[in-house]
Structure 1
Amino acid sequence: MKKEFYQGNRNRMYQKMKPYSLLVMFSGKEVRKTNDEYYPFYADRNFLYLTGLESKEFILLVRKDSGEEINEKVYILPPDPLKERWTGRRMKPQQVEEMSGIGNLSYVQEFEKDFHKLASEGNYQYLYLDLFKEDFEDRDLPAHQLLLRAAAAYPYLQIENANAIVRELRTIKQPCEIEAMREAEKITRAGITAMMKASKPGMYEYQYKAVFDYVLGQYGPQGPAFPSIISAGENNFCIHYYSYTGQAKDGDMVLNDVGAWYDHLMNDVSRGWPCNGKYNEKQRLLYECALKTSNHMFGMIKPGMLMAEVDAEIRRYNGLMLKDAGVLERPEETGAYMWHGGAHHVGFDVHDAICPPKRITPGMVFCVDVGIYHEEWGIGFRLEDNCLVTEDGCENLSAITPRTIEEIEDTMQKGYFAADYGKDMEHI
């Protein structure tokens, strides 16, 4: 993304803030894994959405005075040759400005002094913080820690919800975001088709994952957009399965729920295929129910439709398909085979942190996810695609990945060639 994208995001944010406000956003800190080891740093996505900066411990401080008068400042880590020798070079001021479009910079040690001066001088009434927690027991982040200090030292500052504003902005994707998602779809397709071509009875789940990770590694160092869900046989009945220890036996279905990212934008694609390359009668029957349901949804989603109706219609229509196929006696019993929701938004997060919309509007991107889990038959899979809402309908962004029975079986018969993915590598 170019700096103009992040500048535009901030300007839209500022328009929604009240006059005489302060905004503080944090990039986040490393989380300790064990002893002297940390988990890889993962920048706060709202901070990233506003700045484009992925370095740890950065802080964005903005003040909005009367009218449209805005002052922005980013606090960065100072140079430290010894630490940089161990953990890599820190971003320099010129790099920060080129990436974010913010030229007013200080080192993080100056933040407390600057914030105290602004908060105590009496010119500001509101303090915008991103205080979101998924669960009450989640650890406190730097914004929560600042809230406690501010409540004690500056009780006259009214706390406002920065998270709600950013979520609203992230709900509608901009053209550059959509183009990045298209690139992510191409990478995901390469990884999924590689697994299809490599598939064979006796293959372990960790081997499927290794194929996917290897192919994604040819497109950049970032790897999968989220922990890949790759399972076979009875493990397909664990919706979020991460063990990768099972073995695909002849006749088993392989389930994948995976995604790539490109320029911070993520996708989420699921396919289910027989490890031996040929759907049996029952697998074919259930897969066709899911495919018909998915095609039905992509034929009807359009602006103005209630967002809640996406999931409801997936369940209703899939119930009809399962009844017609003789699997259900009544469509209302579809919950016996559909165990999870059918739609979630994607973007800077794979389950994107957006403001849940009442109605669908152009520029939204969400998954159409049809899962069928028939334990008695030993068949579990999902067919998940990414839906871009257009001005008069929608587009299946992940239609480029084989999704019909014919496409999948044909792909699997071709065998695995790394060169298929645009890379000059030897035949594997």
Structure 2
Amino acid sequence: MNTAPCSTPFAARRARLCAAMQPGAVAILPTAPEVQRNSDTDYLYRHDSYFYYLTGFTEPDSVLVLVAAHGARPAQAILFCRQKNMEREIWEGFRHGPEGARAAFGFDTAFAIEELDAEMARLLADAPAAYYALGHSAALDMQMKNWLLAVRRQARAGVTAPAVAHDLLAMLDEMRLFKDDAEQATMLRAATISGVAHARAMMAARPGMFEYELEAELLHEFRRNGAQYPAYTPIVAAGANACVLHYNVNSAQTRDGDLVLIDAGCELDSYAADITRTFPVNGRFSAPQRALYELVLAAQNAALAAVRPGRKYSDIHDAATRVLAQGMLDLGLLSRDKFGSAEDAIAERAHQQFYMHGTGHWLGLDVHDAGAYRDVHAEGKPSRPLQPGMALTVEPGIYVRPAEGVPEQYWHIGIRIEDDVLVTQDGHTILSASAPKLADDIEQLMRP
């Protein structure tokens, strides 16, 4: 494998993966296919995250093949991609072509995608093992079957096919879980853009606006600052809609007195931000709204205190849940006659009436990023310890629907507060600090 391009994070990741593979083994990783939307129109193309992680290459119809070093033979990084085609480029835009991609992205060799089948029969010949996304794609599984059949047809010449298959994605999941300096910088920028967009939506909000008008403020700020897309369909949920966790219709008209819950983040250079803020559309929290808001904020602060190296991932959720359960008792959402303590309520899962989701997830190239939440190599598979370089969200919430015994003043209030967080050597850094969060700060920002 070329040594000069290893100064790029993509080449360095390819080298790390090759070093972890069985000597002489072959890894195959295609990018995502284009998907038809209707008639002759495709959905906006987005490359595969695993493929991008190792290549930085964003064109469709591309496959990465890695061959691990074996003896005196160095490792190889090979790209298969679309050929240059000036006529198609007039209609669809620039293509690197194999030679251009090889030079620009530091591959050892590059071929036209049409040569994939013939070259794979050669590359897999006498390889001891193959690494690919086992069972992830029926199309890839069929391709692998055909390539292996082509190799086995050479058996009379003494050629052997790989005897072992390994799940490539499991290896990449562990690599992707730890963000390098380049990734951290991109994620900070994505979170900063997204936080400013949330502030813009707060400042624009007025009773009577439609949810989609606030969504437009977000999207404007994303694009104005260079983000390519929203990282996911934004949630802009006013009033009772905020009690629907994955609400994304974004068509209702806000009313004076509503809270608005916005869960939105941009995608910048393939990395996602994921931020939630909740604010009063008229700029002033009512007393019941503020009481619940301060409870969720206290739960988030407790959860954030658990984000540091050596603490278990599950400690984050446990810390938030204890604060929320106690607050539910204090505010009368849960009955003290029935539950003597927060621990009793949690043991009976009573808190899940108002808080039914986890307190976060990994974040990176995907909004819900790759990586296991448990230490799969330890006995009993306990929650894995946090380590520097991990990036995650911390997002407690509370959602109060009308029900018998629930004080009416809290009905239809949904609140979530979500930040993007990087685990550091001595604790954590909040990447999304640009989004206002304190109730007083929100009211000050929204003041006419």
TM-score by length of 1: 0.90
1:23 match: secondary structure: strand
Deviation at 1:98, TM superposition (A): 5.2
Question: Would you say 1:130 and 2:133 are equivalent positions?
Answer: yes
| Residue of structure 1 in register with 2:29 after alignment | 25
2:324 match: secondary structure: helix
| Residue of structure 2 in register with 1:363 after alignment | 389
Amino acid at match of 2:434: I
Question: Would you say 1:107 and 2:112 are equivalent positions?
Answer: yes
279-288 or 308-317, which deviates more: 308-317
CA distance in 2 between counterparts of 1:36 and 1:339 reads 42
Shift in alpha-carbon separation, 1:101–1:292, aligned structure 2, 3 A: same
Which of 407, 410, 420 is 2:441 aligned to?
407
Question: Would you say 1:287 and 2:313 are equivalent positions?
Answer: no
Deviation at 1:203, TM superposition (A): 0.7
| Residue of structure 2 in register with 1:176 after alignment | 182
| Residue of structure 2 in register with 1:324 after alignment | 330
Question: Would you say 1:75 and 2:77 are equivalent positions?
Answer: no
Question: Could you list the runs of 5+ residues in structure 2 that have no partner in the other structure?
Answer: 153-160, 375-383, 403-410
Deviation at 1:221, TM superposition (A): 5.7
Shift in alpha-carbon separation, 1:401–1:145, aligned structure 2, 3 A: same
CA distance in 1 between counterparts of 2:310 and 2:68 reads 35
Deviation at 1:298, TM superposition (A): 1.7
Question: Would you say 1:378 and 2:395 are equivalent positions?
Answer: no
- CA contact 1:130–1:163 (8 Å) conserved in 2: yes
Q: Deviations over 1:151-193 (max 9, x none)?
A: 5445742211110111000011111211111111211012101
Deviation at 1:4, TM superposition (A): 0.9
- CA contact 1:22–1:61 (8 Å) conserved in 2: yes
Shift in alpha-carbon separation, 1:198–1:98, aligned structure 2, 3 A: farther
- CA contact 2:362–2:371 (8 Å) conserved in 1: yes
Shift in alpha-carbon separation, 1:316–1:101, aligned structure 2, 3 A: same
Q: Deviations over 1:39-90 (max 9, x none)?
A: 1111110000000001001111121242572012111101222222221121
Shift in alpha-carbon separation, 1:116–1:374, aligned structure 2, 3 A: same
1:372 match: secondary structure: strand
CA distance in 1 between counterparts of 2:124 and 2:389 reads 38
Matches within 5 A, 1:264-343: 264-329=270-335, 330=339, 331=342, 332=345, 333-343=350-360
| Residue of structure 1 in register with 2:157 after alignment | none
Which of 45, 66, 73 is 1:62 aligned to?
66
Shift in alpha-carbon separation, 1:187–1:94, aligned structure 2, 3 A: farther
| Residue of structure 1 in register with 2:230 after alignment | 224
CA distance in 2 between counterparts of 1:347 and 1:249 reads 35
396-405 or 343-352, which deviates more: 396-405
Question: Would you say 1:117 and 2:122 are equivalent positions?
Answer: yes
| Residue of structure 2 in register with 1:136 after alignment | none
1:271 match: secondary structure: strand
| Residue of structure 2 in register with 1:91 after alignment | 96
2:418 match: secondary structure: strand
Deviation at 1:96, TM superposition (A): 2.2
151-160 or 9-18, which deviates more: 151-160
CA distance in 1 between counterparts of 2:363 and 2:298 reads 23
Q: Deviations over 1:89-136 (max 9, x none)?
A: 21245652455221421111111111112223xx21211112364xxx
| Residue of structure 1 in register with 2:145 after alignment | 148
1:240 match: secondary structure: coil
- CA contact 1:52–1:99 (8 Å) conserved in 2: no
2:10 match: secondary structure: helix
- CA contact 1:96–1:102 (8 Å) conserved in 2: yes
Q: Deviations over 1:389-412 (max 9, x none)?
A: 111211222122100101111111
CA distance in 2 between counterparts of 1:35 and 1:339 reads 41
Deviation at 1:220, TM superposition (A): 2.0
Amino acid at match of 2:369: D
Shift in alpha-carbon separation, 1:409–1:5, aligned structure 2, 3 A: same
- CA contact 2:276–2:417 (8 Å) conserved in 1: yes
Give the RMSD, CA atoms, in angstroms.
2.0
Deviation at 1:142, TM superposition (A): 4.5
- CA contact 1:293–1:321 (8 Å) conserved in 2: no
Shift in alpha-carbon separation, 1:269–1:141, aligned structure 2, 3 A: farther
Matches within 5 A, 1:238-257: 238-257=244-263
CA distance in 2 between counterparts of 1:228 and 1:94 reads 39
1:254 match: secondary structure: strand
Amino acid at match of 2:387: T
CA distance in 1 between counterparts of 2:228 and 2:366 reads 14
- CA contact 1:187–1:219 (8 Å) conserved in 2: yes
CA distance in 1 between counterparts of 2:206 and 2:142 reads 52
Q: Deviations over 1:138-160 (max 9, x none)?
A: xx364333233245445742211
Question: Could you list the runs of 5+ residues in structure 1 that have no partner in the other structure?
Answer: 134-139, 415-428
CA distance in 1 between counterparts of 2:195 and 2:14 reads 33
371-380 or 44-53, which deviates more: 371-380
Amino acid at match of 1:396: I
How many corresponding residue pairs?
406
TM-score by length of 2: 0.86
Q: Deviations over 1:176-230 (max 9, x none)?
A: 2111111112110121011100101111111111111111121126121111111
